[in-house]
Structure 1
């Protein structure tokens, strides 16, 4: 058993936790508990950032440090007043930079500490039952444990909230922060026009033609560096880099008028840089500024459905405009695919081979080209196409357009599923 707790290590007015409770507190698996708290926090307080690995890393570091310090407080090794935070304060700054409101921050602390309390309470019950602790003593111990955890929560949540507010206030005075706020307002449709002072702050020609490049795996700083090369390759002079979160960035490239050659050079430059990028069509004016961003997001959703490993690294809106249109109603798209492909829509190796051959045949236009592309004998291609016709119940040319659309959709719907 532990020695009697030093009253100096407890909260003012709180009795020290009994020795058996402090021993119990040291026996909780913090690694497993950390993952439970992180999952709960993201699900409840930050669902929009569930796919952001960078954000999850900051959250995990914060939770890990809080668990370690809380355990030391519960074990009587650290006075509450001596708790010093590093990662939770750093995480508060990240939240301020991402414009996550205080309400979400506070909610994450509430749900996170409920998860922590549950872990220690469950362990206390196990120890009390195994050691045959009298019921009244166990109930008092649970009450004292709960009070100690709530004291810690109140202490650290206050420190984190103060830091979040301080950082948020400092950021709100910077031009970059104001600029990001203006961009978000434009994208939400809150602004139908901008005041002259806002135009000066934005420092970007809203009257020109805009192309948006969404970089799903590039942070703001790296995206800014990438723009130097893109401007040189395309002749674009005006760019606006806007962070969507810690790991995704949108970039507006604006000129008085885009030409087909400039757009092709942009796509080629992105491909040469090895970037994953979703690219809009050129669109003009303030409405075009918003719509180009929506187009890039639509393209990125197609990439996600396609599968990042299978999709081309650079996707333009024109490449997938048909898929974007048809995927507006996924249920109707699935019905269309089943009606057109019949047995070929099934998730079997045989159906997959026939779809692959059929798609290549439509795209390349000849048995010879299809065989060469797939690495097959020409007779194998003929046999597969014949089996496809048998499954479909009609000659391939009869509904060629519908089949091509269904094949493209089936690939994306399978990926989304």
Structure 2
């Protein structure tokens, strides 16, 4: 009996839902076929199927993907034991699927995504186990009736396992979701998500009390990249002390990035010295941070969030090697403005720099020398800044003018702008056009 004919007979009509305590025992050859499944390779396929079907936006979240894989691996190991008849379905004890369910609840993922992942994941498992069973039946020349009965039995065991585990996981998800919904921090996160929406409405007084942050103040927004919420809270005291403020609001953007708002009453709001103290503190802590301009009021909370996202986008395009650890919006406001249309920005750089804008090491060194010369003025100061000999600086500037096709003193403003943009728009750095951070997860109504 061929593999194609057996699947043609059995797959069009779904099997009825089996009782979880169904007493099914497969023949020896079928149990041996089950043991032959490569669980490592199958786990890879199930994880990919789950991500594609239900969690595509979480592919880059290492914690989530690790939890998902652990859940899949544990399910596969127990399912093989059940199919092979070594344990009964009622003897299965799981841990990882429930840990994943709690994480999904914390991320505010809908339960429909959880259900979809289980349907897709177990369908992938069924295909693998049924293929192995069919192959073994063909190789052993098992009669067609016995093959079909074994396939039905294997399907009943798998669906019984799916029904029992999915039901328990759904209950765990619901309990975790309910507990989080009652959690003060979780409610505060929901309120922040509401404030960051373009169409957000004013919060009622009861929610303002729960938020415990002066929305009418002057705000500075700090995006702490690659820093989970727990780590961000550990440095709050240092930030408060540096800025002489007690009012802060912490919000996890996702599993690995956190945004912090710091408030000062107005007037006087944020003076230059306080902002300098904040950035010095962040540098001293050695963190990677994007810092906004001061903004006032409820709209200022969202304006600061949008600014730090723009700063982070420039940082990523700039590259880890060239980007300062602490980067403020004023430092890159020109780049943000001009990169709003990357196509026009690239056209501007090409028109202004010509061959000096080439994506190679020589042109990059020449651009660095020209930019330093424009900033520092004299050849001597430029050479000292770049740790070069003065004659090397002169030679580089001469070569740069040749590639540019005009003296470096002409169109100085356009040249300076083009040099700043060239750092972000090289062909080797395609991240300039990509969003760096997702919007807050599942924004919804407060409470």
- TM-score of the pair, normalised by structure 2: 0.84
Inter-partner Cα distance in structure 2 for 1:336 and 1:268: 35
Q: Does 2:359 match 1:347? A: yes
| Farther-moved stretch of structure 1 (35-44 vs 284-293) | 35-44
1:227 is aligned to 236
For 1:198, which of 207, 221, 224 is the aligned residue?
207
Q: Distance between the aligned counterparts of 1:140 and 1:336, measured in 2?
A: 71
Change (3 A) 1:200 1:360: same
Where 1:17 maps in the other structure, the secondary structure is: coil
Kept in 1, the 8 Å contact 2:20–2:163? The answer is: no
Do structure 1's residue 416 and structure 2's residue 425 form an aligned pair? no
8 A Cα contact 2:311 2:332, kept in partner: yes
Gaps of 5+ in 1: 1-9
Q: Which is worse superposed, 252-261 or 372-381?
A: 372-381
More off after superposition, 186-195 vs 137-146: 137-146
SS at match of 2:203: coil
The structure that is helix-richer by fraction is 1
SS in 1 for 2:425: helix
For 2:140 and 2:380, locate their aligned partners in 1 and report how far apart those are by CA, in whole Å.
79
CA contact (8 A) 2:54 2:114 kept: yes
Residue in 2 that maps onto 1:266: 278
Q: Which residue of 1 aligns with 2:435?
A: none
SS in 1 for 2:354: helix
**Number of residue-to-residue matches in the alignment:** 408
Cα deviation for residue 140 of structure 1 reads: 5.4
RMSD: 2.4
* TM-aligned CA deviation for residue 199 of structure 1: 0.8
Distance 1:338 1:225, change over 3 A: same
Q: Are 1:114 and 2:114 matched, yes or no? A: no
Taking a change above 3 Å as real, the CA distance of residues 26 and 385 of structure 1, as seen in their structure-2 partners, is farther
Answer whether contact 1:304 1:416 (CA < 8 A) is retained.
no
Gaps of 5+ in 2: 1-18, 432-447
Shift of 1:226: 0.6
Given the alignment, which residue of 325, 338, 341 partners 2:337?
A: 325
2-side partners of 1:374 and 1:132: how far apart?
A: 78
Of 68, 85, 88, the match for 2:94: 85
Partner of residue 177, structure 1? 186
- Which one of the candidate residues 374, 377, 388 is aligned to 2:400? 388
Q: Which structure is richer in relative contact order (CA contacts within 8 A, separation 6 or more)? A: 2
Aligned match for 2:30, one of 21, 33, 36 = 21
